[in-house]
């Protein structure tokens, strides 16, 4: 039991992931967090940022191009797996039993993101924990066109990886001493992404409620339906 707890602690500690597992574990974590619904809790944004920072300071001894290439590939392939899961098994999410690893609220909030942003949710969602994991699944479940999905998938992955990894690499190059404040960086990332996520979900819920009321007022027989992507 203790070894299992230690392993889970490692997966939640982005600094340890990088120091202990190196590029291989970073790639695996990114792949899982961007496509496997039960891996939504794994670190994402700050893992990429710290990977860039530790690459710049030499703690992660790999070329920057290789680092970004592996993370980009994992992010794209993770979304493809999520898309295929949603396409063939997404309907089972509604009847799936809730647990720590899955809650229907995650699916419903991601659906609202698609209603608001359309395909851009795959890009915007890259910077939102939970949405990042469930967006490709919802895209598959709503029969999103594969060709269009691939475009948004690759664009979102490229932007996500470039912004976070290069930001970390730049700070690590310009201010090497920042490595001594990693824990504060992680806490700042968690606080910032949590605030953004909560505000986004609240905004989506308000918009969804308002839109439903407006349509219901003009059409008493209106019943909300899941949006389909042609």
> Which pLDDT score, from 0 to 100, does residue 46 have?
84
Nearest to 25 by CA among 17, 35, 33: 17
Q: Is residue 58 part of a domain?
A: yes
Is there a contact between 16 and 7 (Cβ–Cβ < 8 Å)?
no
17 falls within a domain: yes
Q: Give the chain's domain count.
A: 1
Is residue 220 in some structural domain?
A: no
Tokens of 16: 């340890």
pLDDT at 66: 97
Structural domain range at position 68 = 2-213
How do residues 55-93 score in pLDDT, each as one tens digit? 999 989 999 999 999 999 999 999 999 999 988 887 777
| Residues of the chain below pLDDT 70 | 1-13, 100-101, 197, 200-201, 203-230
Q: Is residue 165 a part of any domain in this protein?
A: yes
pLDDT of residue 204: 59
Give the pLDDT of residue 163.
95
């Amino acid at each position: 039991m203790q070894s299992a707890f230690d392993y889970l602690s490692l997966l939640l500690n982005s600094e340890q992931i990088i120091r202990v597992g190196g590029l291989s574990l970073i790639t695996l974590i990114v792949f899982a967090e961007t496509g496997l619904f039960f891996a939504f809790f794994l670190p994402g944004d700050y893992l990429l940022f710290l990977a860039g920072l530790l690459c710049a300071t030499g703690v992660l001894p790999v070329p920057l191009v290789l680092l970004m290439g592996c993370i980009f590939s994992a992010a794209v392939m993770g979304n493809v797996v999520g898309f295929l899961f949603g396409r063939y098994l997404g309907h089972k999410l509604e009847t799936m039993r809730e647990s720590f690893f899955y809650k229907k609220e995650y699916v419903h909030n991601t659906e609202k993101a698609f209603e608001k942003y359309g395909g851009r949710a795959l890009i915007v969602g890259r910077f939102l924990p939970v949405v990042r994991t469930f967006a490709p699944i919802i895209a598959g479940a709503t029969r999103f066109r594969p060709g269009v999905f691939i475009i948004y998938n690759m664009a979102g992955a490229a932007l996500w990886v470039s912004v976070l990894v290069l930001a970390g690499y730049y700070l690590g190059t310009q201010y090497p001493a920042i490595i001594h404040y990693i824990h504060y960086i992680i806490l700042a990332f968690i606080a910032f992404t949590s605030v953004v996520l909560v505000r986004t979900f609240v905004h989506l819920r308000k918009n969804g409620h308002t839109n439903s009321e407006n349509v219901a007022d003009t059409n008493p027989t209106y019943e909300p339906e899941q949006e389909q992507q042609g």
